[in-house]
Structure 1
Amino acid sequence: MAQQIHGTVADGFEAVREEFASFVATERPDYEGQLCAYVHGRRVVDLWTGGESDSLYGVFSSTKGAAHLVAALLVQDGTLELDRKVTYYWPEFGAEGKGGVTLRDLLAHRAGVIGIDAGFSAEELADDRVIAERLADQKPYWRPGTAFGYHAVVIGALVGEVVRRATGHTLQEVYEERVRAPYGLDFYLGLPEAEERRFRSVQPMVPTPEQQAELDARQTGPHTLASIAFNTHVPDPGSLEDHANSRLVRAKGPASAGGVASARGLATMYAAAISELDDRPPLLKPDTIAEVGQIHSVGYDLVARTHKAFGLGFQATADVAYPFLGAGTFGHSGAGGSQAFADARSGLAYGYTRRRMAYPGGAAPENEALVRAVHTAALRQN
Structure 2
Amino acid sequence: MTPGIHGTVADGFETVREEFAAFVAGERPDYEGQLCAYVHGRKVVDLWTGEGCEPDSLYGVFSSTKGAAFLVVALLVQEGTLELDRKVTYYWPEFAAEGKGGVTLRDLFSHRAGLIGLDAGFTEAELADDRAIAERLADQRPFWRPGTAFGYHAFTIGALAGEVVRRATGRTLQEVYEERIRRPYGLDLHLGLPEELEPRYRSVQPMAPTPEQQAVLDSEPTGPHSLASIAFNMQVPDPVELLDHANSRTVRARGPASAGGVAAARGLAGMYAAAISEMDEQPPLLKPDTIAEVGQIHSSGYDLVARTHKSFGLGFHAVNDPLYPFLGAGAFGHSGAGGSQAFADPRSGLAYGYTRRRYAFPGGAAPENYRLVRAAHASALAS
Query: Aligned residue for 1:367?
Result: 369
Taking the TM superposition and a 5 Å limit, the aligned residue runs for 1:127-146 are 127-146=129-148
2:25 alignment partner AA: A
Aligned 8 A contact 1:307 1:320 in 2: yes
Aligned 8 A contact 1:309 1:316 in 2: yes
Consecutive unaligned residues of structure 1, counting only runs of 5 or more, are none
Aligned 8 A contact 1:326 1:346 in 2: yes
SS of the equivalent of 2:233 reads: coil
Taking the TM superposition and a 5 Å limit, the aligned residue runs for 1:1-382 are 4-50=4-50, 51-381=53-383
Render the CA deviation track for 1:185-204: whole Å, top value 9, x for unaligned.
00000000000000000001
**Partners of 1:3 and 1:92 in 2: how far apart?**
58
Which sits farther off after the overlay, 208-217 or 104-113? 208-217
1:35 alignment partner AA: L
CA-CA distance at 1:116 after TM superposition? 0.4
What is the percentage of aligned positions where both structures have the same residue? 81
1:209 alignment partner AA: P
Render the CA deviation track for 1:95-152: whole Å, top value 9, x for unaligned.
0000000000000000001100000111110000000000000000000001111001
CA-CA distance at 1:206 after TM superposition? 1.5
SS of the equivalent of 2:320 reads: helix
CA-CA distance at 1:216 after TM superposition? 2.7
CA-CA distance at 1:80 after TM superposition? 0.4
CA-CA distance at 1:3 after TM superposition? 6.6
2:255 alignment partner AA: G
CA-CA distance at 1:210 after TM superposition? 3.1
**Partners of 1:180 and 1:208 in 2: how far apart?**
37
**Partners of 1:162 and 1:100 in 2: how far apart?**
15
CA-CA distance at 1:215 after TM superposition? 1.8
2:15 alignment partner AA: A
SS of the equivalent of 1:295 reads: coil
**Partners of 2:110 and 2:147 in 1: how far apart?**
9
Render the CA deviation track for 1:204-237: whole Å, top value 9, x for unaligned.
1311233223223323101111100111111111
1:163 alignment partner AA: V
SS of the equivalent of 2:8 reads: strand
SS of the equivalent of 1:318 reads: coil
2:69 alignment partner AA: A
Aligned 8 A contact 1:35 1:352 in 2: yes
**Partners of 1:219 and 1:315 in 2: how far apart?**
25
**Partners of 2:181 and 2:32 in 1: how far apart?**
27
1:166 alignment partner AA: A
**Partners of 1:161 and 1:346 in 2: how far apart?**
34
Instruction: Assess, with a 3 A threshold, how the Cα gap between structure 1 residues 199 and 53 changes in structure 2: closer, same or farther.
Output: same
**Partners of 1:193 and 1:217 in 2: how far apart?**
42
Aligned 8 A contact 1:9 1:17 in 2: yes
SS of the equivalent of 1:88 reads: helix
Which sits farther off after the overlay, 77-86 or 234-243? 234-243
Render the CA deviation track for 1:306-365: whole Å, top value 9, x for unaligned.
110000000000012000000000000000000000000000000000000111110000
**Partners of 2:224 and 2:324 in 1: how far apart?**
32
1:306 alignment partner AA: T
**Partners of 2:223 and 2:33 in 1: how far apart?**
34
2:260 alignment partner AA: G
**Partners of 1:179 and 1:76 in 2: how far apart?**
15
CA-CA distance at 1:239 after TM superposition? 1.5
**Partners of 1:336 and 1:44 in 2: how far apart?**
24
SS of the equivalent of 1:315 reads: coil
Q: TM-score of the superposition, structure 2-length normalised? A: 0.98
SS of the equivalent of 2:124 reads: coil
**Partners of 1:91 and 1:39 in 2: how far apart?**
43
**Partners of 2:207 and 2:81 in 1: how far apart?**
41
**Partners of 2:245 and 2:87 in 1: how far apart?**
32
**Partners of 1:280 and 1:43 in 2: how far apart?**
15
Q: TM-score of the superposition, structure 1-length normalised? A: 0.98
